[in-house]
Amino acid sequence: MSTISTALRHFKEPTKDQLTHIYFSIPLSGSGAINETNNGQEIEKMDISAVLSLGEAEDSYAGKLHIIPPYLAFSSVDKKSVKFTVPLSTIRRVERLNARAGVYALSLLTWHGMKIIVQLTSLRPTADLFCSLLRDALKVELQRGQMKQVKTFVKTCYSEVLVSDSSSAPENEREDGSLEEKEGGSQDIQYHGGLGLKFKFPGDPKKLREASKIKLWTSYLRTHGRNLTLLRYPQCTRLVQVGLPNRLRGEMWETLSGSIYLRFANPGYYDRLLEENLGRTSTSTEDIEKDLHRSLPEYAGYQSPDGINALRRVLRAYSFMNPELGYCQAMNILAAAILIYMSEEQAFWLLEVLCSRLLPGYYSPSMHGTLLDQRVFESLVQRYLPIIHEHFQLVDVQLSVASLPWFLSLYINTILKINGEQLLQIQDDGGFLNLMRDYFASLGDSAHPDSSDPRARSITIFQELLLVSFREFSIITDDIIHSERKRFRGEITHSIEAFAKRGAVRNLRSLGRFTKEQVGVIYDALYGAMCIVPPPPVAAPPPTLFTTGEGQEDKPETRIGLRTFRHFLSEIATWARDDKIVMNGFQQRVDREVAEHEFIDRLFYFWDVGCHGALSFQDLVSGLDGVMFNDLMENIEWFFNLHDKNKDGFLTKDEVLTLSESFLFIFRYEIGDAYLGAVSRFMTNAFEYGDALLPQPESKDGEAPSSPLPIGTNQPYLNLATFRMVVLADEVLESFFETDLSESFKLEHHPELDIPPSQSGLLGDLWSSIATDSNKKIFNMFTDELGKTIGKHQVVHKPSIGRYTKLEEPKARESLLTPTLRKSLSKASLSGTSAASSTVAASSSTSTLSVNTTLEPPKPVSQVPDSASLSALPLLKAVNAAALMERTPFAIDDVKDDEDEDEDEDEFDKDNDDRVLDEVDAFLEAHDSGLTDADKQVANDLLHAEPLK
């Protein structure tokens, strides 16, 4: 069993609006449980050129001011110096300043008393419009009541306690930020914190200089806002590079990542999610339980029930919120690390931001994000560290062996740079791993232990690592990384798909009589169909009251529905698609359409042996194995069982008619009347042979045998042996079951699906908007209309079987019934037919089935269209009309063959024979194809035409 995902094929580059949200760390609308309703009011987004000022001590910065309801955001021109994102609900007052003429300035007063001056440098009408939109957005926030929630929310942030005038830190706080236990009672703490409050934070606070960091950050937060109103000035970047104090680390993580806005917009969501899913189990929850005790077991917090339970709740809550992803390995390590510094609710929302926005594809079954960034890293090493790259190529050392767990941080190239001399000495992967292991173990040691300067001795290897990374590799920007991702995305996607294909083939319980290469072709057809019609999300099988085997439960696997199956079968079976060869004088193309018919639906449920209502990859392989390698008798039995709905070994009259419809569907585009005549003869013989097998009532001596007792249309009528006899009585059907049926399933290698290229620039965007499938269809429709206007439009359907390329048909074999038995059965059937039933006239030597009902007058034979214009629709109507009758009457049944009749009856038989032959000749004349030799040659050539690429 395996899961097959097409998510990589559906990847789309983020739009301009989404990139703006990502840049300002604003939650995307519709992600997670975000609640951004504006009471039905739509507030427009707008940006305007502006100059930001914050007191006399700070420089002014030019940039763009954005209204992105319910947020106000600003970014400097260089996109790096200054940036802020504040909820509109944290703005207490907006005033227009009385400045000199020509200056349009606003004063914004935030919740924390910080005054921001914004000078709008656009034209006056633009500035007025911006102010109008800002006023409307503020009114909406006031109506929503979000401004009242700010006071309650900020109490959960440690920064409020840190900058408080009454106390800079709690009385019971240790040097590293953890809290001492109070005797005789619990502590009343409103702000959120992680396990480090109780189990201490990792590291030595003196070496980490926690006290100095706290002083620096306290000073910055007092003047530049905090939590919801934090302004990111250049000093903020420098302080982050110096390091975050343990106690403030969790809050700064959620503020800088933007997860704080998710927590603010969804109060109480985390607790409600856990309560609603209490006691619920899934595959994800089972995997979580397996990995709980493997999550940072060396930390004291995860050696106690408190830490394990907190980690369990966070991971379970995320799997419930995002069931499509659920839980992936290594997610437990990430959650365990952030829980040391953050509360459960904070960690829950940060995990959502990391998995969906900051590290997309890292924590997924395919790990496509990790593999893509690993490829980007190798490219960066080749570009910026060519000597080390060449050496690794020479000694065949794989960077991914050591770098996969920790790459794409700014420290990767730096680690290689600092250890460049040692790296040039290694000769294999083992040496590379040992070098990296020893280096990480010494990060806390002094970088200059032999220096006489105590300040130099106090610099750790980790601090040196930071210094080199920010100085020498600052040229590696986000734009470079995004560009490299676009460059290698197609390569990584193909490699992941190839690996998934090998895994899916390897996990099959049985390949049947297929080779691995043939199963790979089936997989390609299935994957292509899933890209067109995605299947429903993979879900765990429903719980059962009992288990079989060793008690192991089935794992989730990908199953496709009926719509996806139709597309899949159209790539495998020639009769499951309509290949229309279109010629309009301007182009010649092949338009492929997926066929829809009851026969395909019947095949879908026939292969669904587990009654799941959907098919797995194993079901498709087993189903195809059951028909593609069959001989004549096996194919006849397979076709019989396919139409035997209740599996009792008999076909009812209704099922015989349905089987005839299946024949008509498969043969709908064949050249000539050979297959059509075969279906007509099949119906004739099926009802004759079926009536012959019915129980005959006892007749008295000297009396003619009476007609068999009538049976219902849903009663057993035709068994497998009789069905074989009917099929073998016709050369065309015998040939179909012997070779044509199995050969109609073709396993042909398909070209790899192309990844949609990532277009960039004006010309790329313009071309991607023009060369779309809808535009191609419009162009084809336009050329078709022109072709119709000039009289050169022609559509020819490509045959599914293609055995007969001429308008000739083989002669039918003689009926296996004796003439006497045929006569008595036919007369008995005619006598039992009601007046309202249909009359079907057919000859064993003709290939045309005509149906005349009593509801409308019969049409003359000369009005029957020629065979080239026949389609399956009127034939299906004819078969449905035939379903109304108890016994099919035939004109030839009136012929008498009894040698004991008198001379008058013999003369009557001769006249009757002449009338039947005249009828046959009339049908043959009326159904002349009307094709010239040139038309026949064109039809023959189209049998070998290839689909338009």
CATH number (domain holding residue 673): 1.10.238.10
In percent, the amount of the chain with pLDDT more than 90 equals 33
101 and 221 in one domain?
no
Q: Is the domain of 596 the same as that of 637?
A: yes
CB atoms within 10 A of CB 9: 16
Closest CA to 123 of 62, 50, 182, 68: 50
Query: What is the model's pLDDT at position 410?
Result: 33
Q: Does 387 share its domain with 433?
A: yes
Q: What is the CATH number of the domain that holds 69?
A: 2.30.29.30
Mean pLDDT confidence for 610-630: 92
The token duo for 449 is 């232990």
End-to-end CA distance of the chain: 34
pLDDT tens digits, 540-594: 555 544 444 443 444 567 889 999 999 999 999 999 999 888 888 888 888 888 9
Tell whether 205 is covered by a domain. yes
Note whether 602 and 643 are within 8 A (CB).
yes
Last residue of a domain, one of 489, 505, 530: 489
Q: Is the pLDDT of residue 206 over 90?
A: no
Torsion of CA 699, 705, 709, 711, to 10 degrees: 150
Q: Which domain holds residue 935?
A: 914-943
Give tens-digit pLDDT for 493-523.
Answer: 888 888 888 988 998 999 999 999 999 999 9
Residues 449 and 333 in one domain: no
Residue located via tokens 């601090």:
463
Q: Is residue 169 part of a domain?
A: yes
For 753: left if phi > 0, alpha if psi spans -120 to 50, otherwise beta; the answer is beta
C-beta of residue 6 within 8 angstroms of C-beta of residue 527:
yes
Query: What is residue 802's predicted lDDT score, i.e. its pLDDT?
Result: 74
Residue 83 lies in a domain: yes
Distances (CA, A) of 744 to 114, 149, 212, 573, 678: 76, 68, 78, 6, 18
Taking each helix axis from N to C terminus, what angle separates 411-418 and 461-472, rounded to the nearest 10 degrees? Answer: 110
Q: Before 70, cis peptide (omega within 30)?
A: yes
- Are 630 and 730 members of one domain? yes
CA angle, 833 then 835 then 839, to 5°: 65
Higher pLDDT, 837 or 92: 92
Q: Cβ(622)–Cβ(512) under 8 Å? A: yes
Query: Is it the case that residue 413 has pLDDT exceeding 90?
Result: no
Place of tokens 């085997």: 549
Q: Is the pLDDT assigned to residue 71 strictly greater than 50?
A: yes
Residue 610 has pLDDT above 60, yes or no: yes
Whether residue 801 lies inside any domain: the answer is no
Pairing of strands 650-651, 559-560: unpaired
Secondary structure, 3-state, 671-725: CCCHHHHHHHHHHHHHHHHHHHCCCCCCCCCCCCCCCCCCCCCCCCCEEHHHHHH
Assign 628 a pLDDT band (cuts: 50, 70, 90): very high
Q: Is residue 48 part of a domain?
A: yes
Same domain (yes/no): 328, 407: no
3-state secondary structure of 304: coil
Highest mean pLDDT: which of 311-315, 395-399, 401-405, 484-488?
311-315
pLDDT of residue 176: 59
Q: What is the pLDDT of residues 6-43, one digit of tens each?
A: 777 777 888 889 889 999 999 886 544 444 444 455 67
828 pLDDT above the threshold of 70 = no
Q: Given a cut of 60, is residue 399 above it in pLDDT?
A: yes
Q: Which residues pair with 75 in a beta bridge?
A: 64, 83
CA–CA gap between residue 197 and residue 193 (Å, rounded)? 7
Question: pLDDT (tens digit, 9 = 90+) per residue, 218-237?
Answer: 999 999 999 999 999 999 98
- Rounded to whole angstroms, how far apart are CA atoms 920 and 847? 10
C-alpha angle with apex 16: 15 to 21, nearest 5 degrees?
A: 95
**Residue 889 CA to its chain's centroid (Å):** 54
Between residues 537 and 128, the one the model is more confident about: 128
Same domain flag for 643 and 515: yes
**In this predicted structure, what is the pLDDT of residue 607?**
95
Give yes or no: residues 230 and 324 share one domain: yes
**pLDDT average, residue stretch 61-76:** 94
pLDDT for 555? 57
Higher pLDDT, 525 or 416: 525
Quote the pLDDT of residue 254.
94
Top pLDDT among 391 and 922 is at: 391
CA separation for the pair 252, 240 (Å, rounded): 9
Cβ contact 258:22 at 8 Å? no
| Three-class secondary structure of residue 249 per DSSP | helix
Say if CB 823 and CB 909 are below 8 A apart.
no
Q: What is the pLDDT of residues 75-124, one digit of tens each?
A: 999 888 899 999 999 999 999 888 777 788 999 999 988 999 999 999 99
How much is the pLDDT for 774?
Answer: 74
User: Are both 579 and 645 inside the same structural domain?
Assistant: yes
Average pLDDT over residues 599-612: 93
Report the pLDDT averaged over residues 882-904: 45
Q: Give the tens place of pLDDT for each residue, 655-679.
A: 999 999 999 999 999 888 888 999 9
468/76: higher pLDDT: 76
> What pLDDT is stored for residue 144 in this prediction?
87
Give the pair of three-digit tokens for residue 829. Answer: 């059937």
pLDDT at position 570 is: 93
Relative to beta strand 83-87, strand 115-120 is unpaired
User: Does 772 map to a domain?
Assistant: no
Number of compact structural domains in the chain: 5
Structural domain includes residue 734: yes
Residue 178: per-residue pLDDT: 61
Indicate the residue among 450, 472, 489 that finishes a domain: 489
771-808 per-position pLDDT tens digit: 566 777 888 888 878 888 888 888 888 888 877 666 55
pTM: 0.71
Q: Which tokens go with 368? A: 């496509």
Tell whether 281 and 233 lie within a shared domain: yes
Which amino acid type is present at position 691? D
Locate all alpha helices (DSSP H) within 225-367, ordered by sequence.
234-242, 246-257, 259-265, 269-276, 283-291, 305-321, 331-339, 344-353
Q: Give the CA radius of gyration of the chain.
A: 40
pLDDT at site 887: 41
**φ/ψ bin of 761: left (φ > 0), alpha (ψ from -120 to 50), beta (otherwise):** left
For the chain, what is the mean pLDDT?
Answer: 77
Instruction: Residue 934: count other Cβ atoms within 10 Å of its Cβ.
Output: 8
* Block residue for tokens 């739009």: 15
Whether 614 and 725 map to the same domain: the answer is: yes
Looking at the fold, whether 198 and 293 belong to one and the same domain comes out as: yes
Query: The domain that contains 164 carries what CATH number?
Result: 1.10.8.270
Residue 646 lies in a domain: yes
pLDDT higher for 691 or 814? 691
Closest CA relative to residue 318, chosen from 357, 359, 355: 355
Tokens of 699: 């007749």
Using CA atoms, how far residue 450 sits from 427, 438, 468, in Å, is: 30, 20, 20
pLDDT category at 174 given cuts 50, 70, 90 is: low
Backbone angles phi, psi at 75, to 5 degrees: -140, 140
Q: Is residue 766 very low, low, confident or very high in pLDDT (cuts 50, 70, 90)?
A: low
Distances (CA, A) of 703 to 449, 699, 827: 124, 6, 15
Strands in 859-900 per DSSP E: none
